[in-house]
Amino acid sequence: MSVTHANASDDRVQLQARRGPLHERLAPLASVWQSRNGYQACMRVHTDAHEHAAASNGPWLRCLTHQPRIGFKGRGSSDWLHGVGVSLPAAPNRWCHDASGAVVGRLGAQDFIIFDEGDGVTNLPHSLAERWQSAAPRGCYIVPRQHSLACIALDGVRAPELLARLCAVDLAPAGFAEDAIAQTQVALMSAVVLRLGDGAPSYRLFVDTSLALYCWDVLHEVAEDMGGGVRGALQGPHA
Torsion angle of C-alpha atoms 113, 147, 77, 193, degrees rounded to 10: 20
SS3 letters for 166-200?
A: CECCCCCCCCCCCCEEEEEEECCEEEEEEEECCCC
Q: Which of 187, 219, 223, 230 binds other proteins (CB under 8 A)?
A: 187
Q: Which of 189, 196, 200, 234 binds other proteins (CB under 8 A)?
A: 189
Q: Which is nearer to other proteins, 100 or 209 (CB)?
A: 209
Q: b/e per residue, 77-97, with b = 16+ CB within 10 A? A: bbebbeeeebebbeeebbbee
The stretch among 5-13, 44-52, 97-105, 121-129 that binds other proteins (CB under 8 A) is: 5-13
- Residue 18 binds other proteins, judged by CB under 8 A: yes
Question: CB atoms < 10 A from the CB of 151, how many?
Answer: 23
Q: Which of 42, 152, 222, 233 binds other proteins (CB under 8 A)?
A: 222
- Residue 146 binds other proteins, judged by CB under 8 A: yes
- Kind and range of the H or E element at 24? helix 23-26
Could you please report the per-residue DSSP string of 45-66? Answer: E-HHHHHHHHHHT--EEEE-TT
Of 219, 188, 222, which is closest to residue 204 (Cα–Cα)? 219
- Residue 225 binds other proteins, judged by CB under 8 A: yes
Q: Which is nearer to other proteins, 133 or 199 (CB)?
A: 133
Q: Which of 31, 34, 122, 148 binds other proteins (CB under 8 A)?
A: 148
- Residue 164 binds other proteins, judged by CB under 8 A: yes
- Residue 188 binds other proteins, judged by CB under 8 A: yes
How many Å from the N-terminal Cα to the C-terminal Cα in the chain? 50
**Shortest Cβ distance from residue 1 to other proteins (Å)?**
4
Strands 202-208 and 181-186: unpaired
Report the distance separating Cα 84 and Cα 78, nearest Å: 10
Q: Which of 165, 183, 200, 224 binds other proteins (CB under 8 A)?
A: 165
**Shortest Cβ distance from residue 215 to other proteins (Å)?**
8
- Residue 2 binds other proteins, judged by CB under 8 A: yes
- The residues that touch other proteins, with contacts defined as CB under 8 A, are 1-5, 8, 11-12, 14-21, 23-24, 38-39, 73-75, 110, 139, 141, 143-149, 164-165, 167-170, 172, 174-175, 187-189, 208-211, 213-215, 218, 221-222, 225
